[in-house]
Amino acid sequence: MLLEFLKAVLFGIVQGITEWLPISSTGHMILLDELVHLQVSEAFYELFEVVIQLGSILAVVVLYWNTLNPFSMKKSSQEKQYTWQMWFKVIVGVLPLGILGLLLDDFVDEHLNNYIVVAVALIVYGILFLVVENANRNKKPLVTDINHLTYGRAFCVGLFQVLAIVPGTSRSGATILGAILLGMARPLAAEYSFFLAIPAMVGASGLKAVKFFLDDASPAITGTEWMVLIVGTAVSFAVSMAAIRLLVQYVRKHDFKGFGIYRIILGVIVLAYFLIVR
């Protein structure tokens, strides 16, 4: 029990860090599962991978509660109106993923959820980060505030988020990359990515949970598995709080080239591990 507790803590730490940094939580979780395997059923682990993300989402809600809350007594009527407009832009941005994600969920699980796809996605998007940052090096962003974000641009960022259906892409990586290409400032790209994650990840987690509990073939969750789920989610929340703050501070003064290089290195490591070591 103690060993599984420590493993759950480790999984929560990795999830909390990698969910928000554009480096692919999927790629890291695959490697971690190979090196530190949880003693749980395969069906439960698939559930664990998505439900643990709820801890990360809760961190966004806590950190940005005032920004996200349209009913805050501290806001003027105009500020409340801006908050509602922001939520409408989030809904517009999440629509493409909501529709295509639901349609392609089973296909992705069956055909794309493997180390080769993850490794290639890590490397390809790592290269894209370097290319995009070099291309935008001297360009002034067109949009620096979410109040000036148009619905059309919000929808286009949502189309980029659809790319995250492919394991290893990184949801935050795809949305941030797309937002920068569409002229959004890096800090705004990061924050909008956080907000898009709320309905996107809650929907994904909810879908997996419903499938698990409605499937008669799903095994009963053991006491140890409940502990792993609760601990992993709690640690993911705590670590996400720090990771989000870190990313927000980082993007104010730095570009994403470092993350691009890291992705390429990690992709090569994933390929080497599964092709040579395993």
* Token pair of 156 as six digits: 């286009």
**Residue 64, Cβ density class (10 Å: 0-12 exposed, 13-18 middle, ≥19 buried):** middle
Question: What per-residue confidence (pLDDT) applies to 85?
Answer: 96
Q: How far apart, in whole angstroms, are the C-alpha atoms of residue 213 and residue 208?
A: 9
CB atoms within 10 A of CB 275: 11
Q: At what angle do helices 151-162 and 171-181 cross, to 10 degrees?
A: 140
Q: How far apart, in whole angstroms, are the C-alpha atoms of residue 154 and residue 151?
A: 5
Q: How far apart, in whole angstroms, are the C-alpha atoms of residue 170 and residue 159?
A: 14
Per-residue pLDDT tens digits for 12-25: 999 999 999 999 88
The full set of domain ranges for the chain reads 2-277
Q: Which of 179, 97, 98 is nearest to 146 (CA)?
A: 179
Per-residue pLDDT tens digits for 155-191: 999 999 999 888 888 888 899 989 999 999 999 999 9
Mean pLDDT throughout 59-86?
A: 94
Q: List the beta strands (DSSP E) in 34-192.
A: none
Answer whether 118's CB lies under 8 Å from 27's CB.
yes
Q: Which of 213, 121, 229 is nearest to 168 (CA)?
A: 121
Higher pLDDT, 186 or 206: 186
pLDDT band at 278; cut points 50, 70, 90: low
Does residue 106 surpass a pLDDT of 80? no
> Which pTM does this prediction carry?
0.88
